[in-house]
Structure 1
Amino acid sequence: MLNKILNSRWFAQRHVDAWLPWLFLMMALPVTFLIWKNEKQNAYIEQQIRFEYHAKEATGLIKRHLLEYEHMLEGMQSFFRASVFVDQHEFDDYVNALLQPKRLLGLHSLAYAKYIDSTRPATYTSLGTDWFALTQRMQPKQDRSFYAPIIYAAPNASLLIASVESNRLLDVLAEAPIRQAFQHSADSNKVLVSPVMQSIQGGNVNDSFLMQLPIYQNNTINNNATSRRERIDGWVLAIIKNELFFTEAFGSADKDLLKYSVYDISANHHDKPSYQTYNTQTQGRRSPAMFANRYEVEYLGYVWELRAESLPKFEQYVDYKRANYIGMLGLLISFSLSGVLYLLVARTRATDTIHKVSNQLSASEQRWQFALEGAGDGVWDWDIKTNKVVFSKRWKAMLGYEDFEVGEEVDEWKKRVHPEDYVNVMQAVEATLNGFNTVYSNEHRVQCKDGSWKWILDRGMVVSRDAEGMPERMVGTHADISSLKKSEEAIWQHANFDSLTGLPNRRMFYGRLDQEIQKAKRSGLKVALIFLDLDGFKEVNDTLGHDQGDVLLKLTAARLVECMRGSDSVARLGGDEFVLMIGDVGHTDLNHVEAVAQKVLNVFTEPFQLAFNTAYVSASLGIAIYPDDASSIEDLMKSVDQAMYASKQKGGRCFTYFTARMQQVAQNRMQLSNDLRSAIPQNQLYVEYQPIVELKTGRVHKAEALLRWMHPTRGYISPAEFIPIAENTRLIQDIGNWVFQEAFKQVLHWRRVLETNFQVSVNKSPIQFSYEDEKAHGWLEPLSQQPGSGQAIVVEITEGLLLDASSEVIQRLKAFQDMGMQVALDDFGTGYSSLSYLKKFEIDYLKIDRSFVANLSEGSDDLILCEAIIMMAHRLGMKVIAEGIETVQQKTLLIRAGCDYGQGFFFAKSLSPQDLEAYVLLHNQVVMA
């Protein structure tokens, strides 16, 4: 056609053929230039797309790395929830175990900040000090009613928790912006990111940021923000150093192609970068980068700005060769129409190529987004139209398959889902396909090649829909969480079951008891508790060792389980305390409860066969009924404990029902215990002295110190009532030391004004011997300051102390004797009297108990016993003191039997120090006369 036009007469007549080539050239050259310029622009755009891809990949790396820290804090929150109390050692062990497989380079420290509030003493009493002492240690010092000091930190605790010498606590709520972030985290129960405190800035944590997650009291989480704030117990936090964090985050990024700079926008660091990559290509460069852009990286409310610039190496990849080729080719073929057509075809082909590359980059970005979120685990890509699924090699290897062993049909995945999980999984997938859920996420079991089952976290999302909204493509990841599931199971077992016996522990028992109580409220039935404490367990534990004690506890648990129905529960609360719960108790079924209690008592009649020994123990049982005896779990446990204590008071081997009288006795005992704590500082306690008379001569040069208590409202309280309370609460330590100090000062005075050999006897209970720290609270220090003064004191001990004497007790008793003190064995004959310990220990005096003296008469058995004791003591080199002498006959018979000393109402009651001094002076004068 073109040849016909060019050869036509019209062109020939007008000489068009002369200028037509130039005209065509003038038309073709601009066209060629425009095409060349357009192709050059396309090459630039293509490289710019690659630049955007690399930059967005870098933002994804940052978010992925932040997600690892978020998961770490969530794991620490689960650890705190699963524990009743976490101490420093447990915290350090957990952090070391957490960081052992993979130490995050940017992590400076994991820490726990304890929330304390002056209006809520329970928030700080566990720290072992008062509010004023805590505020004095707080850094920086601020006058507030609440703080959050860091009490645990690892592995780099030196910058966060001051040493013992500095005695400081670092308050994370000192700065208002950070305080608001922590409070918002507590209100929302979410991980939040915030700048680091200025009080930490300086050491090795410059340019850092924090991630924090709240911990709530009693491991409870409420949906109400106010309730959450009221129950906040503290925060677990990660202190992350910017430089190392971003160095690690950009570890897989190609830093030879792009230069990255990160600015902390939330910390108002707009001008100074928190991190930037270093490359020698930027040294001495003056021209601006060919590609540059800024990207906002927002994570958990915290914002960084990523600034990316291309480096010369990246810019070298801008391919202008094709544009130049097209330009040259356009010049060569501008003289022909075929060249123009070729350029048009090349233009179309180049445009299609650009669109294809753009689509491929978009699909790659979507896949990598989920690959990053899946922490590099198996990836799947489901083409919904063809019902074909592409599984990555990692996906197949996770289940033990080779690359060629799994087809592309969607049934290859469905048939491996555990039957118990299948319906739930399909429902979650359908909800995502139908648009009800944006992200598909499900935990389920998948069968491996060897037939075993693996727990999988399956996550995905629909990435493509048609014009009508129907799903076309869905991509996602598989993450192996089998180890996590095993850890969760182990944590649950540890949190809910006793590791020794396998029985439910206190936490699980309280949960079951609450369920039974709620059930009883609905049904109108009752719940019975049987609280059990072993009689004689301490002796087995101390004599045979803790290992054999543990064996005994296991055997006890097995016997108790045999006593119960399958619907009832047995739990170990701790030590040798067990509790049995019987549910669905009708109003006429209390006989069944009593039958169970008797059955429990019966199983303890048989001995326990340990490794090499046979142990005999019994049990003291208390019974309480809900709702008859209490309306809450706390009150019910108090009631059943009081009932058990009543069985103990009866001598054990029995069961006792709770009564209202027990509550009154317990309240009275508690009130008396509270009053006893203030008795010494309020001068309510005082010491009286009962003279000890030398029976042969009638002279008095000994006395026994006796403790008395004059209560400001109740008046005189018998020692028999308050001494057991003092021993149970360990107040006997302070009280006993105070009595000794009073008696020691008094006897030194009497040695100056009465007789130089005057002695005072002071009682010392086994509990004082067992728990006393002689270096801090003992009797030895004042004795050492007065050389020879030990001869003025006689320490009175009981037979029980010698029977169960440990090496520490023996050493302490020997130390007393080395200081010159004499030892008297009190209440001889009433306990486990044995001649073996009389030979083993150096005893100076035997004190015959008043129960033998009370019924002394001519020819009586008590007289025979007294004579035998006196004769035995004298043969062993000991002297004898008879207690409770009240008649002339008793005195006469004891003198005739050879008794050395006596005390009792016949001579005098206990006297004040002044009255005793007057009594001794007068009495000894009368005797001498």
Structure 2
Amino acid sequence: MSLRRRLLRWRARWRRGPHLTQGLPWAILLLGLMLSLGLWSHERQEAEQALQRDLDVALHAAGQRLSHRLDALQQILSAVHALAQTQEAGAAGRSLDEGRLSRFLEALPLGADHAGLEGLALVRWVPGRVADDKASPRALLGPLLPGPGQLGQAPDLWRESLLQPTLQRARESGQLALSPALDLRSWRLGRNLGFVLVQPLFRPSPDGSHRLESWVLAPVALAALMDPLQAQMPRGLSLRLFEGDGIPDPPLLYQAAQAPARGLRQREERLHRGGQAWTLQLLVHADYAPLTRLGEPLTLGLLGGLGSLLLALLAWALAGSRERAQALAQRMTRALRESEQRWAFALEGAGDGVWDWDMRADTLVTTARWKALMGWPLSAAEPRLSQMLPLVHPDDHAGLRQRLRDCIQNSQGSFEVEYRVRAEGGGWRWLLARGRIVERDSVHEPLRMIGTLSDIDARRQSEAQIHFLARHDPLTELANRAHFSERLQQALAHARRYRESLGLILVDLDRFKPVNDIHGHAVGDELLQAMARRLKAAVRETDVVGRIGGDEFLVLLCGPVSRESARHVAEKIYNLVAQPLQLGDLSLELTCSVGLAMYPEDGEDEHSLKKAADDAMYASKRAGRLLLGAAGG
């Protein structure tokens, strides 16, 4: 395929497809991000420049204040120099002495600008007496300032390597000179690390020249000089002072207390005074307030990016809302259909019916399975709740209504109830109904309820069968020993309450064991079943017949009953048992021994009544098998 044909096909697809609407949000997003990035870069640069200007202004102001303090100290030395010249002019060449200098300095107004000044010393020049032409000065230092900065006798300063270059520089230039940093305590010129200001004093000679007479020394403590400057700095800025100008690893002269070794940023300024070079450094810490302005461009850029994203999302929503709505509707419809299919399949497999009750209209929407379980015609219209209730067994009406009422009034809004409905072939079928409220109005009143209906008839029959087998003899279906004892206890309680009498008859089959051994257990079982039917036929439905042993039976005659009527029942039992019995080809005749006991004459509890009936039965056996025995008879 040629390139031209491919391009034409691609253009046709582009026109047919939603590429334009899909690409527009991306274009808006890209353009917005580019503008946000450009704005962030510009604002970041402006913030950096503003920060640099603030730091330059702060550093320059600190340098100006330091220069101003040095100027103030220099003015003191200049005043001493002027005093010396004035005295020479007025005293015929008389030199300045320590006393006059001390009185002059005491009159000076020393203030905050003179912080760091440790004292003043007058050092006289004494010509040497050595072979070479170098001078050998002697320094006589006077205590010219009061306080802890007072000075005492000093050594020969000319011989000291740190001060000699400064003294020599002041002598040669005739101007103020600054010494390198030194420990003032070593020279007895002060208490801390500092430097010395040196001002030379000259005296005119007869030949018209000027001869060095002395120096005025002013030791200055660096910490006392710099701490007031640091106190005036904004929070987050600290000062450091280095000796030298641009040399590697310059000596540190001063550092603000609690200042970090390195700052986030730093600026430097060079200072030159009296032949000495210093480097004043400004450190920026994290708590410097203007640093927060550097984060503003980032916030602005993020907001711009977020705005671009929102615009792109808006364009995407507007451009493809119809297509997405259709696709979403199709997906939701498909998901709903699949969910309904799965639900219907699950319910069909379980054999349950489904119902939906509109409680405002009192109408039901039901499935075919629900109608089949309830016995409602499939062709008939959907029933109302009032039409459904007559299908329920009358004994279950109250329970069903109560469960529905509790569900509607209960915050949980669900119920479960078992009830009976009329079966197709007659009789009743057990059903299990479950329901839950799924919709309420603004005041929390129920509007709609859905639920299922299950056939539990087989389970209820199984439960009834299990319950029957647990209380009855499986061979004869008569009450077993435990159930008979339970019925006897109930009858005794009733008789005591209403002062009635009741009778207890014990029946023992004669010669049953030989019949069972000769003809087999199957014949014996049929014989016992036949005897059970004859016993039940001899008593009322309210009476109880039970099998308590292999060939022993008990009959409870519920009251009120007299002894005579009880004897009549016992004789009836005896005669029915003695009738011939045809079991297939086998004809059998059996007799029985019967014992009768009456409540309350023969016993007032179960044990005494059974014992009395047993005694009467054995008395009957001893008297003759065809004779009826009765307690007290």
Shorter-chain-normalised TM-score: which range?
Answer: 0.3 to 0.5
Q: State the TM-score, normalized to the length of structure 2.
A: 0.43
Larger Rg: 2
Larger relative contact order (CA 8 Å, sep ≥ 6): 2
TM-score between both structures, scaled by the size of structure 1: 0.30
